[in-house]
Amino acid sequence: MVTLKKYEMTKAYQIIDEENFLTFCKDTIPSLKDFKLKINVFNESGVEIEYFPKEHHIGKSDKAWTHALFAIADLVSYACVLTRHPTAIPSVTTNMNANFFNTTHVCNVRANAKIQEHNEDFAHLTVDLVTFQGTPIAKITCNYLVVLP
């Protein structure tokens, strides 16, 4: 028998902004709970978030590394949607496409997302993942179904 662990939010969220975005994500997405993240930019022109993997993983190869990169891309693109629609909390990713350029070793990552197309129920975004030195890691496109309350 398979049992699923149920995750419940520790508090109710009505609106998401720069002040509560990371707390909201860590509270609702269990895989992000231990991620060390910093928001640099959070506005309608785009979102930039820095991701700091655990120090003992830096420079090593890790089979789960691309999973972490997808999670960061999804996180930053979701933030971008929420800058336009702060109450669209139930919005969902409908598609992600990635081109990876360099993913062999774990490093600190800067993720930049920008909305390319947008309306009341759809958003198309691009995400650039780069090292802190500016070396491209991946270019990801995301489509979101925007769900307004």
The rounded distance, in Å, linking the Cα atoms of 139 and 128 is: 5
Residue 43 is assigned to a structural domain of this protein: yes
Q: Which two tokens stand for residue 122?
A: 């759809």
Residue 14 is assigned to a structural domain of this protein: no
Digit-coded pLDDT (tens) for 14-29 = 889 999 999 998 888 8
CATH number at residue 140: 3.10.129.10
Contact (CB, 8 A) for 104 and 58: no
* pLDDT value of residue 7: 42
Q: Name the band, by pLDDT with cuts 50, 70 and 90, for residue 6.
A: very low
DSSP character string of 104-128 = SS---EEEEEEEEEE-SSEEEEEEE
* pLDDT value of residue 95: 95
Residue 7 is assigned to a structural domain of this protein: no
Q: Name the band, by pLDDT with cuts 50, 70 and 90, for residue 66.
A: confident
Residue 16 is assigned to a structural domain of this protein: no
Residue 98 is assigned to a structural domain of this protein: yes
Digit-coded pLDDT (tens) for 77-107 = 999 999 999 999 999 999 999 999 876 789 9
Instruction: Report helix, strand or coil for 41.
Output: strand
CA 112 vs CA 13, 52, 76, 95: distances in Å: 25, 15, 7, 18
* pLDDT value of residue 56: 85
Residue 10 is assigned to a structural domain of this protein: no
Half-sphere exposure of 49 (CA within 13 A, CB side): 26
> 96 lies in which domain range?
21-145
The rounded distance, in Å, linking the Cα atoms of 90 and 131 is: 30
Residue 2 is assigned to a structural domain of this protein: no
* pLDDT value of residue 130: 96
Digit-coded pLDDT (tens) for 132-144 = 999 999 999 999 9
- Its pTM stands at 0.87
CA 133 vs CA 127, 130, 136: distances in Å: 17, 8, 9
Domain count, the chain: 1
The rounded distance, in Å, linking the Cα atoms of 98 and 26 is: 24
